[in-house]
Amino acid sequence: MQTRTLGKYGPAVSALGFGCMGLSFGYGPAVDHRHGIALIREAYERGITFFDTAEAYGALNEEMLGEAVAPFRDRVVLATKFGFKNGDSKSGMDSRPERIRAVAETSLKHLRTDRIDLFYQHRVDPDVPMEDMAGTVKDLIAEGKVRHFGLSEAGVESIRRAHAVQPVAALQSEYSLWWREPQKAILPLCEELGIGFVPFSPLGKGFLTGKIDENTAFDKDDFRNIVPRFSPEARKANQALVDLLGRIAGERQATPAQIALAWLLAQKPWIVPIPGTTRLHRLEENLGAGNVELAPQDLERIDTALARIVIEGDRYPAHLQQRIDR
């Protein structure tokens, strides 16, 4: 596995990371604890050194990751996040300094470590000045409890304000072939300020794998049930993008998921996607993207085709869309 450095200020990590969210949160019941640990360890054995979790994914998620990486803790980079009231993503934001400190202490215990390698604000809190939030993380860095500072789904102004207090190592936001909004202002800003970019949902919450269509039924607790982009009508309309990936994948002896990840890796050398999975064969498939090198003509062909494809459906329901920082 090749390595990449997250901007000017961040750590060196594997070119693909591992998003742990789905092991216990968002897509249905949590996986068996032993299975989750085995999958994380297998990811490490296959070259992944960058693992992403969050307080909001539940204590089980951080604990599973902490137990899994304990034998090789010093050889991996662990990222976690603060920013939701009582750690509940449905309860609104809370980035008060005292809350940030409390989350840091709890995460250190869950992760079985003495430092958090990358500590993200999960969402911007409109009630707490960015300077106060960033200043608190700066203090935690000075104390040795945190190594690097990150933001998630933050807008241009928020990023600039936070970065002026404590250099931002990485911005984590949604970015994929079916959500390219970061290309307009966020990626240019990251390049200007030397901030690494970590795309979450790089496979469009599974849609870009080609394994989901308008007839796919999700688990009753799967949050995609309330996402407009995953309505049966939107899935049917958005199939054109998956068809495009399928054609290119067939020519390259790859899978649609591998083409989608390879496209992201080709955008900038400081972009590190974090696909997640609960299945070993999907992990193997994702890792195979590192062997797919898209030529300039491939990228041009994809961009030309994307210009003609209109993606249907919002990526969040209305009540969550309001939380996105502009």
pLDDT for res 310: 85
**What does the mean pLDDT of the chain come to?**
94
pLDDT for res 156: 97
Burial status of residue 119 (CB atoms within 10 A of its CB: 0-12, 13-18, 19 or more): buried
**Residue 217: CB atoms within 10 Å:** 7
pLDDT reading at 321 higher than 90: no
pLDDT for res 180: 93
Across 98-102, 227-231, 286-290, least confident range:
227-231
**Nearest alpha carbon to residue 179 among 93, 299, 264:** 264
* 223-280 pLDDT tens trace: 888 888 888 888 988 898 889 899 999 999 999 999 999 999 999 999 999 999 999 9
Contact 115, 78 (CB under 8 A): no
Q: How far apart are CA 280 and CA 278, in angstroms?
A: 7
pLDDT for res 325: 66
Question: What count of Cα atoms within 13 Å lies in the side-chain half-sphere of residue 247?
Answer: 9
CATH of 3-203+268-293, one of 3.50.50.60, 3.30.450.20, 3.20.20.100, 3.40.50.1390: 3.20.20.100
Average pLDDT of 153-173?
98
Q: Place 132 in a pLDDT band, splitting at 50, 70 and 90.
A: very high
pLDDT for res 313: 85
Domains of the chain: which residue ranges?
3-203+268-293
pLDDT for res 190: 98
pLDDT for res 212: 87
pLDDT reading at 69 higher than 80: yes
| Sheet containing 146-152, strands listed edge to edge, beginning at the edge strand earlier in sequence | 18-19, 50-52, 77-82, 116-121, 146-152, 168-174, 196-200
Q: Place 316 in a pLDDT band, splitting at 50, 70 and 90.
A: confident
**Residue 46: CB atoms within 10 Å:** 16
Q: How far apart are CA 260 and CA 267, in angstroms?
A: 11
The model carries a pTM of 0.94
What residues act catalytically? 57
pLDDT reading at 150 higher than 80: yes
pLDDT for res 26: 78
Please give the structure tokens belonging to residue 250: 């067939």
Which amino acid, 70?
A: A
Residue predicted with more confidence, 209 or 16: 16
pLDDT for res 146: 98
The percent of the chain in helix, strand and coil, each rounded to the nearest 5, is 50, 15, 35
State what percent of residues in the chain have pLDDT above 70: 98
